[in-house]
Structure 1
């Protein structure tokens, strides 16, 4: 099993250039690049061509651009801005040879009917997939395990992806989000695991379902998520993608970035190696 690093894990105590150096040093195979902050910050000082050369010259490779946020149920003006952002991400993906773009559903206090969420999501994913196809880029939908997210369970996200029925549209399975709104292990077992494009590894403190937030994440294996159940199903189903650690823990941002990157790899590898 290969290991990846999501830049959220060092969001407040590092940058892209440093993350790359440290991840290369500690033997990570992949990195998920944050396009909302870390990539623009990098490009203020360096060129995209320099970043591409780094990947060509080193072991670590880019696995995903993370993320196009709030893709569904937008106003026309908001959607046109979203398309503009997505087209720029496709150009980044082309230059850097990134295979996936993560797309995140709308988070809102507004109550939207599930049928309207599904209709919008399917239509948008169809269009985005058509735009991405010439670039060889696939879309990974990341449901967010919080009541305010319009797509917040594995079952709901999987149903939408099945409706889209495009080989270039799949899912991010984030263990925290899977646990946070009580997604079903049985639903995961019944699913076509080839639709799981990206696996995010994390764990969480034991707060009630529906109240969890990203900052509650802890090192993999040191919380209450049924990682054994999730990973056992993935193993049985033949999942062979990398496992990417993604944490948003405030205490970890107070640590040295290298200590976080090292600890994140150790804890993730310890958990994942038992199954994948």
Structure 2
């Protein structure tokens, strides 16, 4: 199992350059690159510099995070989604990053589950047709909030199965899995090859539907049954990667090096109970 760093964990004070240097120092295998941090980096750097960094170092790019709110958009908004995807595909071709996370929309009004499925399937088909020539995969991330149009593992997995394309899969995020009470039985039945990205995190012990991003805590420090999730992943044969992703404002105020070091240590500690970890 490889360990990745998601840039949301240091979102407030850090940069792509700083995250890369410190993740390399602490032995991460992979990084998920945020779209906003990538654009910020490219103001003063060329993409060839990023490519050269990955060529010279252990750490590699794994995914771009994220195309946000891809469904139920007006024409202007949807065109921006397509342009962002094209931009990420072009960068990904240069630095060899071949996965893009896609997030469904929030606060869409009174659409039925069937209508949400139809719209999400339609959009994923269209976006993957754009991404396919670049060899890029799309990973649908359900979000465990009542106002997200796709908010459970089962709902997202059903959409991915309906799309039925090799380059469309799912993001499994432990926080989101817990937050809207997704069922472990659904994960037990899943095809591990359709889990494109695995986010490891934890959270405070709040009721179903009440959790939000700022309630996240380090893996192993909260209420999520990580042991059950990791045991299930091992059981179905998933062992590709785990990316630590937190949006906790308290951690954003920490020294960046302390945050990246702590994230690695906490993630290693819990993953090592179930998986053999990649070593530098």
TM-score (norm 1): 0.98
Secondary structure at 1:166 match in 2: coil
Cα deviation for residue 264 of structure 1 reads: 0.4
For 2:79 and 2:12, locate their aligned partners in 1 and report how far apart those are by CA, in whole Å.
30
User: Do structure 1's residue 180 and structure 2's residue 204 form an aligned pair?
Assistant: no
Q: Which residue of 2 aligns with 1:244?
A: 243
Q: How many residues align?
A: 275
> In the TM superposition, what are the counterparts of 1:218-237 in structure 2 within 5 Å?
218-237=217-236
- Answering whether residue 24 of structure 2 is matched by residue 21 of structure 1, we say no
- Cα distance in 1 for partners of 2:44, 2:11 equals 18
Shift of 1:241: 1.1
SS at match of 2:40: helix
The reply to whether residue 189 of structure 1 matches residue 175 of structure 2 is no
d(CA) in 1 for partners of 2:160, 2:80: 23
Q: Is the 8 A contact 2:31 2:63 kept in 1?
A: yes
Counterparts of 2:241 and 2:117, CA distance in 1: 29
Structure 2: distance between partners of 1:194 and 1:250: 33
Q: Which residue of 2 aligns with 1:31?
A: 31
TM alignment of 1:100-139, pairs within 5 A: 100-108=99-107, 110-139=109-138
Deviation at 1:78, TM superposition (A): 2.0
Q: Equivalent residue of 1:103, what SS? A: strand
Alpha-carbon RMSD across the aligned residues, in angstroms, is: 0.9
**2:256 corresponding residue in structure 1:** 257
TM-superposed deviation, 1:77:
2.9
For the residue of structure 1 that corresponds to 2:129, the secondary structure is helix
SS of equivalent to 2:220: coil
Does 2:103 match 1:91?
no
Describe the SS at the equivalent of 2:44.
coil
What residue number does 1:161 align with?
160
After TM superposition, give the deviation of residue 109 of structure 1 in Å.
5.5
Determine the C-alpha separation between the residues in 2 that align with 1:183 and 1:168: 24
In the alignment, structure 1 residue 7 sits paired with structure 2 residue 7:
yes
In the aligned structure 1, how far is the partner of 2:176 from the partner of 2:201? 9
Find the counterpart in structure 2 of residue 82 from structure 1. Answer: 81
- 1:147-202 deviation line (CA, Å, top 9, x unaligned): 11100000000000000001110001000000000000011101112111110000
Give, in whole Å, the separation in 2 of the partners of 1:154 and 1:256: 34
Residue 128 of structure 1 aligns to a residue whose secondary structure is helix
Following the alignment from structure 2 to structure 1, what is the Cα–Cα distance between the partners of residues 55 and 135? 18
Distance in 1 between residues matched to 2:113 and 2:146, nearest whole Å: 13
Q: Distance in 1 between matches of 2:190 and 2:63?
A: 23
Equivalent residue for 2:278?
Answer: none
Give 3-state SS (helix, strand or coil) of 2:157's partner. Answer: helix
d(CA) in 2 for partners of 1:107, 1:142: 12
